[in-house]
Amino acid sequence: MGYLGGPNFPNDPTDLGPLVPLPGGYQEVFDFLGQCGYGGFEFFQLSQNAQNPGGANPPVTQIKSWLDAAGLKSAGTHQGGLGMLNTATGQLSAAGVTQVANADILGHRMIGTAGDPSGANTIAAWQVACDNYNKLGQLLMENYGLKAYLHPEQNNWQFIADPLIPVDQRPHRIDFFVANTDPRYVFLEPDIFHMYNARGRFPNVDGSLWDPISYMQDNWKRLVGWHVKDAVRAAVPVAAPGNPWDQTKVRPGFPINGGMDVIYSTEGHLGNGAQAAAQAGIAPTGYGFDPGATAPSASPGLDPRVWGFRREFTEIRANRAKGFKFHIVESDSGPGPAADPGRSLRHAKISAKLLLGLK
């Protein structure tokens, strides 16, 4: 049982709506998402709670029938990565064969992962990982019409701490990966929250900050979709390598979980953009968005590279009609605590409403 939000939520934080049975399992959740206006779903796994229809591991054909009934498409899966490649033969591994077969059934044309492509942190190890990604990407594209992608999360923005490379010359892992993989065969799925969090967490030796906007502009042909993940600046400024952005906030008037609620898409500072957030009066008090502003300041300290969803989705895609088409709603803080088990579904519902209204 949980609260999915009434018609005036979140403008009226007290309008939680009635306490209702929450949908669970693929069949019910797909139906719920379809009613919320979603067009598709990106998989992280293909299992569910054993008590749901189909059991713990429903047949992929059954999952596809539930997608179809809800009017949803499969956008892709995060079950890919270098484990799909048999490096000895240059062909698919057993796991790769399974993933290609699942893609054919579910209908998605991209397979990726959020994991680090290399278990070691040297230039040589990362070069091997890049070479193998190129092999896997070419194999999937040319033989099966599938795109291999990396979904970079914060580990990917750390530096390659190779002892043979002077500290001030060590590259961010993501920059090395982009420079050493083939844009024809290896694609990227940005995560807005992780990009900006990493911008503040891993500054260069000279204090300069990694630039998420240039990264997306330079690699626009490789972008297969966005994880649309909103956040607000931490209520208390955090110095690197702490997380400068939060995906939850205390919502005045919110009557459960001590007032703590998730940030819905387009509601936070990342979604609005630095300037718009300040103009709307939702900038944090006492300091700006600039990750370097770790103390109260009279100056707004706005980070000019926090563009906001509207500008990112339009300018980076401008005049590129054949570019990516997936805007995937997600929050690392989506799963609610025991006091608020409806949070994840409420996040999906409210975020869809807000994003579909973003022109």
Beta bridge mates, 329: 228
Residue 78: which of 34, 42, 109, 104 has the closest Cα? 42
Residue 231 has pLDDT above 50, yes or no: yes
- Whether the upstream peptide bond of residue 10 has omega within 30° of 0, thus cis, is yes
276 compared with 70, residue with greater pLDDT: 70
Residue 46: its pLDDT value, please?
Answer: 96
CA distance linking residue 142 with residue 163, whole number of Å: 38
Q: DSSP character for 265?
A: T
pLDDT digit string, tens, across residues 168-221: 999 999 999 999 999 999 999 999 999 999 988 898 888 888 899 999 999 988
List strand residue ranges (DSSP E) for the chain, in order: 2-3, 19-20, 40-43, 73-77, 85-86, 91-92, 110-113, 147-150, 186-188, 225-228, 232-233, 245-246, 248-250, 260-262, 326-329
Has this prediction a pTM greater than 0.85?
Answer: yes
Per-residue pLDDT at 278: 62
Question: Which residue in this structure is represented by tokens 């193998």?
Answer: 132
Q: What 3-state class would DSSP assign to 75? A: strand
pLDDT for 277 beyond 70: no
H-run or E-run covering 136: helix 123-144
Query: What is 21-356's CATH topology?
Result: TIM Barrel (3.20.20)
Single out the residue of 145, 229, 211, 222 nearest to residue 189, CA to CA: 222
| Cα–Cα distance, 267 to 256 (Å, whole number) | 19
Structure tokens at 308: 């906001």
Sign of CA dihedral 281, 283, 286, 292: negative
| Per-residue pLDDT reduced to its tens digit, 99-150 | 999 999 999 999 999 988 888 899 999 999 999 999 999 999 999 999 999 9
Answer yes or no: are the C-beta atoms of 111 and 46 closer than 8 Å: no
From 148, 140, 230, 236, select the one nearest 186 (Cα to Cα): 148
- What's the pLDDT tens digit per position in 294-335? 444 434 456 778 888 988 888 886 545 454 578 999 999 988
Residue 37 vs residues 21, 30, 120, 332, 351: alpha-carbon distances, Å: 20, 11, 42, 21, 10
> What is the tens place of the pLDDT at every residue in 33-77?
999 999 999 999 999 999 999 999 999 999 999 999 999 999 999
